[in-house]
Structure 1
């Protein structure tokens, strides 16, 4: 059973060592990876997904429970404890959503024989994350970006049931971020978000700051930042309503800004 993963520092693009030599992530942690575009955020989650052992350009090492990851984690997809949800969600399969989920559940031998119940729970989870309901009869290739990302998050959490979930810029998919973190915290896993989004960052336990391909610092979300989170959420909700109005062809006015005006 996985209890923690450890990242042993490597180096950035200029050869300078990571400022954090060792970082332990425990089950139940929600972590954001932040930094400017090109700072090395995606490279870090790639190191984690590959169980790097000083064999990637960064030279980092990733340990599972203090030891090198078993070879089977890399070689056997059914035993891989990591789910990576990227910005690229093109499906080769054109199956209906419920058939896709049923097939995946049977391959994973998930649900303890109650595959239909597990599929229903996965769809319910997904539909709490997206404003566009995912119907079981929709085909996978018909889903929007937001529907797809919501479905994959639900699938990784319930059907894959992997202890480590890596999410690359989910804010760009139009999912309900606060609800996503609320639901994810109900499951004892390690969640790492690559994000530019202040709402996700302030709802995380801490954030890994990247710059120039190296880990520059680790910032624990303190009480002051936690107190800011509701205000950030209100501003974000206001902007979301404005986006929805504009997408819907409606006019907007200063009253739509609420208290921000």
Structure 2
């Protein structure tokens, strides 16, 4: 049954949900952030007090002792210097006394301690936040990997491999960068803005109100440019996936591309996709890049306004010079976090675009859950029955219709037929990579649908035409299906598959490391290694899908002898175009257009002089 794709949900709350298991650490981070911001906010205030102490000492040293500060203020007013009198009235001045160095020293020492504590708190917060981010991304990668195992084969058939790789690697890495940068600075930035704003209102409500005027302007700039950049970031990562898919296809099919003279076409296609990526990236970076200059301009205008109004208030005695000095520092600290957030907005938009792509992958329809009603125990006998099986990849396009087949335990069944007749599809159904639309498939009399997929697949071993070896040693590749085997077991399987001789000629023998493409061994040797893997796995039921198509005639004869031993006593399905591999089969099943048209032994089918007879003669008449 085809499942509909769920609607795309917002990535932000889903990312927040991913952080929920780290809430205890996040709470500690918030506490440390408050402590860091609190000490950081206290610093300018202490420096302002130090400035007042210094200025008061310098002015007090010039005042006569008689009459004190009040008399000096009165004299200045009498002389018409009202602003100087107002400024002097706000100072704690002691006539004839200079700078109180002890008090000044204590204030400076306190300021130093406050800034050091702020740095320590900030360092611990960054350390914890890095751990939170990496644990979250670790969980996200684990979810992606687990999702890969739950997706049906249909998903991988319909989506380019490069696009899937881009979502599971590039996009996850981009989320990691975004979380690391944003979570590391966003809490500090928000609390700094709030803390600084409180102190600014305490120092001068007027100056604080003026500073607040810039906030709506900043928000407008963030909203306008952020809205324009987000769709371009989404397009950027979509085009990155398309470009990665093309690069992966070009790399894997490089030889064919050159052989068929498609190099210019591929370069042109790459150029088109690369140009789309360049254009999307340019506009994404351009609009997000406009945010920071706009915020800096607004912040500088605010700074100039504060400096002018602050100077006027000092001159009129409303606030002290130290308070204005502190306020100017606070005004900078007020706009700096907003500037940081503005600078990170592009990164946030990019991270959210990647998150949407990753969550879209995680929301892809999975294989339907199997309700297991039977638990198998013991060894599988190997009886396979297909009763009126029908299947189609796409609705309205039947591929297999009313296919019936009964395979006895230990029987070797060869399946032949023209290209597109449904041979490989039958393998996919036997392995339960796809679910049938109608009919039944039974294993030892038990309906597939009453068994879990793992139980079904555990009974099978496969050797496919398209070899698959992973980056690792030859020993690890042979032992892929069974990790609890000895070196002698691996060598025995290699000898049975005629692999041992050529492996021993390698400098490191079974410890020879293969890269992901196994380019150090030939195509035929790759196939032999996969056959050795099947020998070692010792499955109850064996599927050989064009297993000898990549080896020479002499090696094919050797493999046939080995396969005869391997297939002895177990059910096996041999799918091949080369009829030399199926003449000794107990039963040959001819499939055409998804139906069994003939069934019997090699001799029986030749005697009927029908399709199989024609196919056999087309291959062997010239040499018989």
CA shift, 1:71, in A, is 3.2
Tell me the CA shift for residue 224 of structure 1: 9.0
* Pairwise CA distance, 1:223: 7.1
Match of 1:198 among 579, 583, 586: 579
Match of residue 229 from structure 1: none
Structure 1 unaligned runs (5+)? 227-231, 237-256
Match for residue 43 of structure 1 among 409, 412, 425: 425
Structure-2 separation of matches of 1:188 and 1:56: 28
> What is the SS of the residue equivalent to 1:134?
helix
- 2-side partners of 1:39 and 1:32: how far apart? 14
* Aligned ranges 1:36-185 → 2 under 5 Å: 36-50=418-432, 55-57=435-437, 59-69=438-448, 71-72=451-452, 74-75=453-454, 80-91=458-469, 93-102=470-479, 104-106=481-483, 109-110=484-485, 115-127=486-498, 133-135=502-504, 136-140=510-514, 141=518, 142-157=520-535, 159-174=536-551, 176-185=555-564
**Deviation of residue 214 (structure 1)?**
2.2
The unaligned stretches of length 5 or more in structure 2 are 1-378, 392-396, 505-509, 608-615
User: Alignment partner of 2:530: what SS?
Assistant: helix
Contact 2:548/2:559, CA 8 A, preserved across alignment: no
Q: Distance in 2 between matches of 1:9 and 1:224?
A: 23
Per-residue displacement from partner, 1:130-162 (whole Å, max 9, x unpaired)? 9x82342433423322112222222212x2111
Q: Deviations over 1:162-197 (max 9, x none)?
A: 111111112321163333333233232222111111
Cα RMSD after superposing both structures: 3.4
Equivalent residue for 1:208? 589
Change (3 A) 1:196 1:60: farther
Whole-Å separation in 2 of the counterparts to 1:154 and 1:225 = 33
Query: CA–CA distance in 2 between the matches of 1:103 and 1:82?
Result: 14
The answer to whether the 8 A contact 1:51-1:63 is kept is: no
Q: Is residue 178–residue 199 contact of structure 1 (8 Å, CA) maintained in 2? A: no
Size of the aligned set, in residue pairs, is 215
Q: Which has the higher helix share?
A: 2
Change (3 A) 1:71 1:34: same
- In 2: Cα distance, 1:88 partner to 1:15 partner: 22
Deviations 1:104-150 (A, max 9, x none): 532xx34xxxx12101101112226x9x8234243342332211222
Residue 221 of structure 1: aligned partner: 602
Moved more, 217-226 or 179-188: 217-226
Q: Which has the higher strand share?
A: 1
TM-score, normalised to structure 1's length?
Answer: 0.69
Structure 2 partner of 1:253: none
The higher-RCO structure (CA 8 Å, 6+ apart) is: 1
Distance 1:10 1:183, change over 3 A: same
Cα separation, partners in 2 of 1:60 and 1:185, compared to 1, 3 Å:
farther
Match of 1:254 in 2: none
Once the two structures are TM-superposed, the CA of residue 28 in structure 1 deviates from its matched residue by 2.6
CA distance 1:9–1:150, shift in 2 (3 Å): farther
Which structure: larger Rg?
Answer: 2
1:60–1:139 distance in 2 versus 1, CA, 3 Å: farther
Cα distance in 2 for partners of 1:224, 1:209 equals 9
Distance 2:522 2:490 in 1: 19
Instruction: Find the partner of 2:414 among 32, 45, 61.
Output: 32
- Please say if residues 8 and 60 of structure 1, whose CA atoms lie closer than 8 Å, have aligned partners that are also in contact: yes
Residue 246 (structure 1) aligns with: none
Instruction: State the SS of the aligned residue for 1:207.
Output: strand
Alpha-carbon contact 2:384-2:443 (below 8 Å) kept: yes
- Give distance in 2, aligned partners of 1:102 and 1:61: 33
Is this contact kept in 1: 2:480–2:533, CA < 8 A?
no
Q: Residues 30 and 191 of structure 1 are in contact (CA less than 8 Å); yes or no, is this contact kept in structure 2? A: yes
Do the aligned partners of residues 66 and 124 (structure 1) sit closer, same or farther apart at CA in structure 2, a change above 3 Å counting?
A: same
User: CA–CA distance in 2 between the matches of 1:217 and 1:146?
Assistant: 32
Deviations 1:198-227 (A, max 9, x none): 21121222211111122222122237969x
